[in-house]
Amino acid sequence: MTHIAIFVSGNGTNCENIIHYFARSSEVKISLVLSNKANAYALVRAEKAGIPTEVLPKAEFIQEDLLLNLMKKYHIDFIVLAGFLLLIPEFLIKAYPQKIINIHPALLPKFGGKGMWGYHVHEAVKAAGEKETGMTVHWVNGQYDKGQVIAQYKTSLSPQDTPNDIAAKEHILEIKYFPKVIEKIIKAEKH
């Protein structure tokens, strides 16, 4: 059994989707949803699904003993960032080498880096006049959105698309593919 922690900062539609996807799995258990924000709606979604939740504000999140002990408490083997806005500390990356992934709402390396999250990304895609956008799943390293790309899925855009339209098209890809990518990584890890 692979125990997953999902790290979130916001609404949590991807978090909820992942929880539902693995609800009946005999190989994967969502063991913890952790947020840096006590008011993240993702925590409500997790609690409704019966998943344990924890809140660690940034000052606590960067404390090595505190965070690593929390991961041990829930027997965490793998970490999924689903709309988590804090930079992952080096000590966590060392404790979980090639075991932390992130989703980004654009086709990296375009439109990544500090400050490029959520609606900001979709506004930048629109401003650049892109003909397509998509989602990227990548390994987490010590820099925002710079880890090795694992998977990308694309959708076409029209010149009339607003940032909201772009967000909606991209989010369809996240809901469809993100849990499948997680499952594929975990299966590959076991072989």
State which amino acid sits at residue 127.
A
State how far the alpha carbon of 117 is from the alpha carbons of 10, 106, 113, 129, 131, in Å.
11, 9, 8, 18, 20
Secondary structure class of 157 (helix, strand, coil)? coil
Q: How far apart are CA 94 and CA 100, in angstroms?
A: 10
Instruction: List residues bridging with 80 in a β-sheet.
Output: 6, 101
Q: How far apart are CA 138 and CA 100, in angstroms?
A: 9
Sign of the alpha-carbon torsion through 63, 100, 156, 16: negative
20 belongs to the catalytic site: no
Q: How far apart are CA 93 and CA 50, in angstroms?
A: 28
Q: Which of 20, 104, 122, 171 is catalytic?
A: 104
CB 52 within 8 A of CB 7: no
| Token couple for 150 | 């694992």
CB 104 within 8 A of CB 138: yes
Q: Catalytic positions, please?
A: 104
